[in-house]
Structure 1
Amino acid sequence: MAPSVAGKRDPFVLHASTIARAHTYLAFAAFLSALAIGCALHYKKIVKNGVAGYPEEWFPSVSATIGDWYPERNIFQILIAINAGPRFALVALQYYLHRSATSSIPGFLFLVGLLRTLSCGGWVFITSSDDHDVHDVLMVSYIVLNLPWMFGSLAFTPANHTAARRRRRWTSIAFFGSLVPMIYFFIQHKVHRIPGAYTRYSFFEWSLILLDVMYDSSVELDLQAADLKITVGNFVATSSEADKIADAPLSSSASAPTPAAATTAVKSAGESPSQLNGKEATATKATATQSLYARAQPTVSFVSDVYLSYIFWSVFTALTPTLFYFSIWQLGISGQELALLSSLSPLFLGIPPFKEWAYSREGRTTLHVLTLVGLASYLSSSPMTRLLLVSFANSAATVGATAEWFDGDDEGVAYQALVTGLGFLLTSLSKHANHSNNPIWPFVNENSGGYNKTGIALALLAILEFAYRPVQSQPVKPSKSAPTPAPQTQWFPGAISLGSFIFSLHSLLGDPSTLIAWSWTGYPITGPIPSQHGSLTHLAQVLGLGLAAFLAGSVSTFDVLAHPLYLALGSASAYVMYTHKDWTGYAGGLGVAAFLMSLVPTVWARARAAALGGGVAKTAAVAWLVVCLFDVASVFTVAYAFVPGGEYFRERTNWVLAAQFAGIGLAFRWPALGNGSMALTLSKRAQYAVQYALALLSALSLLATLYHIPTVVPTPHRPGPRIVRAGIWTVHFGIDNRGRDSQRLMRDLIKDMELDVVGLLETDLHRVTFGNRDLTRVIAEDLGFHVDIGPGPNQHTWGAVLLSKFPIINSTHHLLPSPDGELAPAIEAYLNMFGTPVKVIVSHNGQEETPLDRELQATELARIMAGSYPDPVIFLGYVVTKPHAPRPAPYQIMVEDGKVFDIDDEDADRWCEYIFYRGLYRTSYARVSRGIVTDTEMQIGQFVVPPYKRTIRDDSRTARYLRSFKEWLPEDHWFPMEYYPELGGKNGHGYHVFNTPLYYKLPDEALGTPSDD
């Protein structure tokens, strides 16, 4: 107790560390009591899950323990509710200990602590039984918020608080380390449905709870060391005491007289105590608000800068998919490719008045606003209008980016380089979290996975912050003096290196699954999976950018990344990436990802030096011209059949890759080029901001992977009657007839037709041309399919995809003979259809202009099909031939030499798509119009698989063409009624050509049993 004052009660003094201890005890009591009571009263119920129960599962998860049964749920929630007061108090006390006039991070951590506490209350009181999705979202939010909370608190723990630092360090490392095995066992449980996996998952889930409580308990040690006390009670000081109070130094102890008491003692003459207290309180609040705003301003500015960088990359990466929509339709140069030249707009910076305006705050703000025109173009239904608006926005974006990159002192350039890297990483993350589509791209909208309005609203807030940002509060203050003189550097190599680097980021790291597509070999899976391992690409990028930020703190260490030996390391990684497959090839790709991101400051330093020597306009324009040339060259490696001079680029991805790295190499230290050491450093505050941002983005990437893991188990639609529905569809690179992403339109038709096997063609979108996208994400996640994406982008084909509800036993990727025209892909896979291995082939043959290619490709496909005779086969392909066309046309070669049957050889109205089969009973054949999805219909064949180890005894034409009405068959064989043209069709699709699916009777032998043999 504090000394008493005459006429007053002694104030009550509470040691702040007692609150921390109470929080720890209450938290442990809540969770452990729920576990004990749950195991005692409802053991078998809380260990049971959707896959298995006791004895395979024998330890309960946290959610089942705290949320499912009375009374443990109620006791737990009462204790947690009591614990809410101490928890909020600890957040405030921790801020009180860490607050600083020179850093805004404690204020940021205070906000994180509040959100973390609220999200904790959310997933505690909204259990998985109440609302599974809300519970999961709040739980994931809590884990994400733990990242800045834990590492931020650790960073602000005083060095002399060794016990607290030690506890925070090991508990935070153990916490995030436990996430990896926990996610692994969750995948084993949720996706692979392995009994017992959830028990193992539960151990790590409980460890997170215990580690989290242990981490928060370390604040007790901080409060004890600070001897922080909370005093409750009145205190009245005499005038002499007031003078002492006014002269006393500030202390960390809260037991000192309150400001209200002190100001009461020294009040001015003629003012009542209540009036004075009111004014003082108002002034104190205003000062505190201003102080908090001032401390938070650098953090807010940093976040705004990163988001504006994200906007730049989003507009830039949207340009090529928007313009190549026209090239795809015309299968050649259409003229719209000139929109690429909009990137050359930095040439206007050679005009002094324009440059002065573009470098000003008003000019940069205006350029940011003009960039939003491209994002807002999503509102237009015209592809041409969108292209014009995106081109205009890209012009503004590249001018604005150039002004940001090359203005300011050395520290400013380093800051802008790292912010640019963070913005690029954020674009990749946003695609990873949104089924490989950037949510603010103008060719997506709310119907195709877009969040355009949200993205534009956030951009407007970031632009407002930039426009009204106090000069002294900017993350890096612009230099008022001349920039640090750069060594004598030739401007042209610096421009080449910048252009090569921008293209390399765009083409290889624009989506985290692109590098996986390069290494993919099919089934059985012996490498990374695009939908599940893309976060590893992000982690490699984070490692590289984090290394750059760390080394940028010192002039002596930063230049290590410009040594030619480091270039040799990056080039070796690229060689491994190109020449190897599966995990080895992907490991090389991860090396490339880390290498490229670590070079961001180095390349920017060289480019800035080049701009100082050769002028900003000339340097930037040449850099963007290099980007445009690489864009064209990379497309020509696969589109060579449709462009003049394309034969020189045919399948030359290795040349393009070598040229990329040769261009990047010009940024390294070469005495002949005058590229000496560059003194480019970064402030500690900016370093910390970048590191925290990288940590947050890493966690978000992992959580996005976890959230999007398919939860629908692939199972055939009609296992009872052993029916298989197989479809073939040429989907025109995932861009519909209106120039929008078509993933969801494809999903809807596949879902309605209840397809078990799907062949999709023109699907290799891992190029800058198509936005580095993956067309299988939405379909696989929402409908549940095994996916084989076929030959990767480094195999120079238009792409083929196999989706299967049946397990894929193995698959082989083929590059069919193509001496004259485009390289043709094929997937040969064995599927386990109700215990019977069935070979399925998906292929995309050459065009009409290359008859030799089509003949050779048909011959190879026939060999593949005949090689497994008489076993069952389903062929789904793009053939380009008339039905019954004699040799050397493909039809006769494939049917006769392949020993297969046409799905219906009386259908004479075909040209591109064909379905062939063998060893199965065909019961229906449908042709479904394309709607607005593509330029090609979907064809569907329905088959019945013979019982295990039985073969078809009569495959004569008479037996195969027992035509039927659907009413003569069980309803399992019927196609959806709403797609009949007389009923109006659905979503623009309908049965056409015959205006109905064709049906065939099952032969008597198909209705028999094994005993008939």
Structure 2
Amino acid sequence: MSSRTTGKHSTLTTVNQKVAPLFIDASHVAAVHTFIAFSAFTSALLLGCALHYKKIVKNGIAGYPEEWFPSVSATIGDWYPERNVFQILIAITSGPRFALIFLQYFISRTSRSALPLWIFFVGIVRTLACGGWVYVTSNDDHDAHDVLMILYIVCNVPWMLGGIMNTPPNHVQVRKRRFFALIIPLVYFFIQHKVHRIPGAYTRYAFFEWGLIFLDVLYDSISGADFRLCNLQIAIGVSLDSGIEHKDIPLPPAHDNKLKSVDDNTPEPNDKISSTVKTQPAIASNEHKSGTRGIIFRGGRLLTPLMKPALRSWLGFAADVYLSYLFWSIITSLLTTLFYFSVWELGLSGAEAALFTYFTPALLGITPLRNWALTKWGRVTLRVLSLIGLAAYRIDDPLERLWAVIGANIAILLSQMADWTTGDGAYQGFLLGVGLVLSSLSKHANHSNNPVWPMLNEETGGYNKTGMVIAVCAILELATRPSSPPIKEEKSGKLKQPPNNAKDIPRNWIASSIALGSLFFTLHCMFTDSSTIIAWSWTGYQDGQPRGPLPHLHGPITLLAQSLGLIIPAVLPTSASTALLSHPLWFAYGCASAFVMYRFRDWTGFLGGLNFAIFCMSILPSVLSQSSAWQGDKVGRRHFVTFLVAILLYLANVWTVAYAFVPGGSYLRERTDLVLAAQLAAISLASWPFGASTRPNSMLRIPSSTRTRIPVILCLLSLSSVLVTLLHWPVVGPTPYKPGTRTFNAGIWTIHFGIDNVGHDSQRRIRDVIRDMKLDVVGLLETDLHRTVYGNRDLTRVAAEELGYYVDLGPGPNLHTWGAALLSKFPIIHSRHHLLPSPHGELAPAIEAVLDVYGTEITVVVSHNGQEEDPLDRELQSKELARIMAASYPRPVVFLGYVVTKPLAPRPAPYDILVNDGLVYDIDQNDWDRWCEYILYRGVYRTAYARVSRGIVTDTELQIGQFVLPRHGYVLTNQTEGSRLLRSFKEDLPEHHVLVPNGILWQ
């Protein structure tokens, strides 16, 4: 076969081939696809409205006339015949759709970029996902339908962005139509449809869903314009015999293309032929035997628009950041998952052995495993296996869920440590830091819960499916990323050092590993949630104002400090950055910041924590760079030492508060100061002279691209944190449930660290109970979750932000209690935190707060006393609580506490001490079924009392008391039992006196 060019037109000469070709303009494929796709959806909509209108607009909440427009799922998947007509037409559409994908790849393919191939693959996945949610309807399998729909929507992003990038510069109108006419409204409708969904507004939901579908079809129709501008045609012919005959087939104008001829060494000047090769890229042909069909694509210029290397590099960087986010998410999920068993055992349960999963990276000392993990497909395989940790939310059994999380941690640790072993430590350090900031931001946006943790699901605030879909996209980018030369090993099994780093090895690999292990634990312990250092410094209210920062308002400041710390090594020159971050004075700055954070409270302590965040984040790239410099046979030992240090610090951190439940715990009882000092001592090994290299100025090598991207991404994350805070900011301040009645409901609930009976987060179920019970004042116990094993969470965030409450968190994590919290619809005038006497057992927290209840000051005391194993502690704690309540006499008092005693028990049991010495009354002394929780009061009228079953939220009950204030200015004293316990039928009382609404049921 040969090609010749003459003037402005070219001809393709075939030899003895009796073919009567049929030429079809490729743009017709796009037109056919658009017509059939629109016909499929439109016919389903019209038939559905005509035949089953009221049935397809009806949903689980309402029907016609409240809901008057059907959703896509109800229209295409519920009723005959619209479902069948739609599925037949959409099946016919599949042919043109696959043809569109292939044709777009054909006109954009090039050997200089993998982007067209990657977009081709995304297009195939997108089409298959479309077929999935079309043929697997929500009635068939709701979860599968949702997953495939989300996958389809997510694939739209790279498909459309890739189409924009592959649009040639001279196709100006196509580019404008693709971007301005379609992308922006598509994103807008997606956000309205999936994110800002309004309960009950199903009709609006349906409009967004239909808008997404039709805009999607319109986007694909724009491909026809590309095909026309490229003069792309399809020639379909039937070979009549195998003989060969010369025949000229005219080709369209060349349009200044650099066509390459075959068997013709003399190019024509007018066609600007640049060279002679054996293939002609402008023409692709499939030659078949006699009697078979062949397809010949012919066109003008072969389009080779390249995705700029910078854009592909940014895409890879974004994927790396998200994979780092997944690393933090999966790593932190292990401790929260295993802690479920410790909560139920109140001691060592055996599940703690899962902590030794962190030793997995030591396996990289095995040379074959290390070599495989360092390959692209080894990394991709491990990342895919780690997705088990995200999918574990579907597992109902807590033990099986723990095993899945363990497997995910093994995979993610091997993959992440393999990345750290490549020698590019500075880049990996920056990624680790940005992933941490992104993880903390996601928790701040999701009420202090990581949205992809397996302890969450759709009902408890999880976005597990969304996280998995984005993870798949990130892994696909990693799989299609252009490969870099692998690090080769010598025969001895040692990895060769990069030439420019060969002499930049720390003097002691043990020192660098210890420093990295301590820094890793410090970041996990203090900075995986933006409110942890706020909890360390919080002391309550004074004169109606908080003394220190508020978690939901000032959490973004923590993220800003973390970002600033990571930006420092990115923007400073290499020599200045290395000299500063390894200097003893910089380490002294970190120690001073940690001391201020530990020793001081309120804003001063918070500022110390912010500076400590700056210090820790700033040294992360250099510490990881030093540690990753050690390769070969020391890789396994290095990782073993790193995580041995981390595990020891994890245990020590828990034992400072859980000393009563572990052997030898008394040695670390309430000694957070020792643990913090050990952390800093270990981190010091990364500073001069321990961590200095033989050439300090060349240790921290940071590529210029990284220096550009880090500030940009961190600024975006910081801005996002501020926007999230504004989004969550309540429009109206807290108001009581029964304003103007001088009536309020108070409750006490031990919520077991926000973990329900099957190991899921219980914040939203707690919120629902509080809302349904209309609790104006509620004490929550076992709420101090700012530790690694609890997930560094804040259990008050959901109720406070969504229901509107003033919040006072009890003594913080640095004061070694299980925690107490007070939520109030009434302003908190001032509050004080107490550590009750505990010479033998665990520390007991208490909150003493004065509330402005309808203009009357009332003292509310929330406390959590010690266990029954320590009678002296309970006696001393009860006397202190009685003193606090008696000291406020004659001011009204409501006591909401966990007291290990039986009703009416004599001294030295706590009951008699609290009631008689505290000058208070029991809300119902005839209730003998109580054991731990009690409500006591003085100076108010008690009108109702109830104990509420909790469903699966926790294994404890919620106790509620309803009180009415006396007339303004009138003080109740010496209330007799008869005056306090007058009985009445609820039918004779006003509606606002009804305590528990009928029909309430919780799960």
- After TM superposition, the score normalised by the length of structure 1 is 0.69
Counterpart position of 2:481: 469
1:571 and 1:861 map into 2 onto residues whose CA distance is: 37
1:775 alignment partner in structure 2: 795
Distance across 2 between alignment mates of 1:331 and 1:119? 54
Query: How many pairs were matched up?
Result: 745
How far did residue 535 of structure 1 move? 0.4
Q: After the TM superposition, which residues 981-1000 of structure 1 pair with which residues of structure 2 at under 5 Å, given as runs?
A: 986-988=1001-1003
Q: Which has the higher helix share?
A: 1
Q: Deviations over 1:619-643 (max 9, x none)?
A: 0111111111111110111111111
1:784 paired residue among 777, 784, 804:
804
Report what 1:357 is aligned to. Answer: 372
* Contact 2:425/2:622 (<8 A) preserved: no
Does the C-alpha gap of structure 1 residues 640 and 919 become closer, same or farther in structure 2, counting only changes over 3 Å?
same
1:413 Cα deviation from its structure 2 partner = 2.1
* Aligned with 1:324 (options 329, 332, 339): 339
Letter in 2 for 1:938: L
User: Any idea what SS the aligned residue of 1:680 has?
Assistant: coil
Q: 830, 833, 858: which one pairs with 2:878?
A: 858
2:598–2:605 CA contact under 8 A, matched in 1: yes
Write the distance in 2 (CA, Å) between the matches of 1:125 and 1:849.
60
CA distances 1:78-117 after superposition (whole Å, capped 9, x unpaired): xxxxxxxxxxxxxxxxxxxxxx99x99xx99998999899
Give distance in 1, aligned partners of 2:485 and 2:957.
Answer: 59
Q: 1:845 aligns with which of 858, 865, 888?
A: 865
For 1:492, the aligned partner's letter is: I
1:521 aligns with 2:539: yes
User: What SS class does the counterpart of residue 602 from structure 1 fall into?
Assistant: helix
From 937, 949, 963, give the equivalent of 2:957.
937
1:115 & 1:633 partners in 2: Cα distance? 55
Q: In the alignment, which of 337, 345, 359 is matched to residue 352 of structure 2?
A: 337
Q: How does 1:76-225 map to 2 (within 5 A)?
A: none
**What is the CA distance between 1:484 and its match in structure 2?**
2.3
State the SS of the aligned residue for 1:914. Answer: strand
Residue in 1 that maps onto 2:654: 635
Distance (whole Å) between structure 1 residues aligned to residue 638 and residue 411 of structure 2: 17
Q: Look up the equivalent residue of 1:432 and give its one-letter code.
A: H
- After superposing the two structures, state which structure 1 stretch, 911-920 or 707-716, moved more: 707-716
SS in 2 for 1:716: coil
Whether 1:427 and 2:444 are equivalent positions in the alignment is: no
Q: Does 1:754 align with 2:774?
A: yes
State the shift of 1:759 in Å: 0.2
**1:491/1:613 contact within 8 Å kept:** no
Q: 1:562 aligns with which of 582, 600, 605?
A: 582
Aligned to 1:504: 522
Contact preservation (8 Å) 2:376, 2:483: no
Paired residue for 1:542, among 563, 568, 591? 563
Check whether the contact 1:712–1:783 (CA below 8 A) recurs between aligned residues.
Answer: no
- Aligned-pair distance for 1:962? 1.2
**Is residue 787–residue 802 contact of structure 1 (8 Å, CA) maintained in 2?**
yes
1:618 counterpart = 2:637: yes
Which whole-Å CA distance do the structure 2 matches of 1:599 and 1:117 have between them?
A: 46
The answer for the alignment partner of 1:646 in structure 2 is: 665
Shift of the alpha carbon at 1:284?
5.2
Which residue of 2 is the match for residue 313 of structure 1? 328
Cα–Cα, structure 1 residues 315 and 886, in superposed 2: closer, same or farther, change >3 Å? same
Indicate which of 388, 399, 411 corresponds to 1:396.
411
* Match in the other structure for 2:216: none
**Cα distance, 1:977 vs. partner?**
3.7
Task: After TM superposition, give the deviation of residue 122 of structure 1 in Å.
Answer: 10
Contact 1:834–1:948 (Cα < 8 Å) also in 2: no
Query: What amino acid is the match of 1:287?
Result: T
Q: CA deviation at 1:612?
A: 3.6
Return the match for 1:657 from 649, 673, 676: 676
Counterpart AA for 2:658? A
Distance 1:416 1:926, change over 3 A: same
In structure 2, do the counterparts of structure 1 residues 921 and 407 end up closer, same or farther at CA, with 3 Å as the change threshold?
A: same
Q: Against the structure 1 CA distance between its residues 331 and 363, is the aligned structure 2 distance closer, same or farther, given a 3 Å change threshold? A: same
Cα distance in 2 for partners of 1:413, 1:884 equals 65
TM-score by length of 2: 0.70
Alpha-carbon separation, structure 2, partners of 1:457 and 1:367: 17
Q: Residue 964 of structure 1: CA displacement?
A: 2.3
In structure 1, the residue matched to 2:461 is 449
Paired with 1:495 and 1:672, the residues of 2 have a C-alpha distance of: 10
Q: 1:671 to 1:628 in 2, by over 3 A?
A: closer
The DSSP-based 3-state class of the residue aligned with 1:758 is strand
Q: In structure 2, do the counterparts of structure 1 residues 762 and 116 end up closer, same or farther at CA, with 3 Å as the change threshold?
A: farther
How much does 1:480 deviate? 8.8
Q: Which amino acid aligns with 1:286?
A: L
Out of 313, 316, 320, the residue aligned to residue 301 of structure 1 is: 316
Change (3 A) 1:132 1:928: closer
Find the residue that maps to 1:978 and give its secondary structure.
Answer: coil
> Structure 2: how far apart are the matches of 1:886 and 1:285?
94
Partner AA of 2:516 in structure 1:
L
Residue from 383, 389, 414 that aligns with 2:426: 414
After the TM superposition, list the runs of 4 or more consecutive aligned residues in structure 1 that deviate by more than 4 angstroms: 107-128, 131-134, 263-268, 279-285, 478-483, 671-676
- Measured after TM superposition, the shift of residue 560 of structure 1 is 2.1
Q: Does 1:893 align with 2:910?
A: no
Q: State whether residues 555 and 681 of structure 1, in contact with CA within 8 Å, keep that contact through their aligned partners in structure 2.
A: no
What residue identity is the alignment partner of 1:722? Answer: R
Q: Is the 8 A contact 1:500 1:663 kept in 2?
A: yes
State the AA in 1 paired with 2:553: Q
Cα distance, 1:679 vs. partner?
2.2
**CA distance 1:967–1:946, shift in 2 (3 Å):** same
| 1:362 CA drift (Å) | 1.7
In the alignment, structure 1 residue 493 sits paired with structure 2 residue 511: yes
**How far apart, in 1, do the equivalents of 2:432 and 2:298 lie?**
44
Report the Cα distance in structure 2 between the residues aligned to 1:666 and 1:672, rounded to whole angstroms.
6
Structure 1: segments with no counterpart, 5+ residues: 1-99, 135-241, 248-262, 269-274, 980-984, 989-1013
Q: How far has the Cα of 1:713 moved from its partner?
A: 2.2
Amino acid aligned to 2:360: S
User: In the TM superposition, what is the alpha-carbon distance from 1:473 to its structure 2 partner?
Assistant: 11
Q: Is the 8 A contact 2:569 2:577 kept in 1?
A: no
Q: 1:608 to 1:830 in 2, by over 3 A?
A: same
Matches within 5 A, 1:574-973: 574-609=594-629, 611-612=630-631, 615-670=634-689, 677=696, 679-952=699-972, 955-973=975-993
Deviation string for 1:662-688 (max 9, x for gaps)? 111111111698776252211111221
What is the rounded CA distance, in whole Å, between the counterparts of 1:910 and 1:671 in structure 2? 59
For residue 133 of structure 1, report the CA deviation from its aligned partner: 8.5
Contact 1:555 1:679 in 2 (8 A): no
Q: Matched residues, percent identical?
A: 53
Q: 1:953 to 1:764 in 2, by over 3 A?
A: closer
Tell me the alpha carbon deviations over residues 833-868 of structure 1, each in whole angstroms, 9 at most, x when there is no partner: 110000000000100011111101100000000011
Q: Aligned partners of 1:661, 1:108: CA distance in 2, in Å?
A: 47
Deviations 1:494-519 (CA, angstroms, capped at 9, x unpaired): 11101100000000001001011111
Gap runs ≥5 in structure 2: 1-111, 117-160, 166-174, 199-252, 259-267, 274-281, 284-295, 487-494
Amino acid aligned to 2:720? L
Change (3 A) 1:584 1:119: farther
CA RMSD, 1 decimal: 3.5
Structure-1 separation of matches of 2:496 and 2:719: 35
Contact 2:506 2:626 in 1 (8 A): no
Q: What is the letter of the counterpart of residue 314 of structure 2?
A: T
Using a 3 Å threshold, how does the CA distance of structure 1 residues 393 and 688 change in structure 2: closer, same or farther? same
Alpha-carbon distance, 1:976 to partner? 3.4
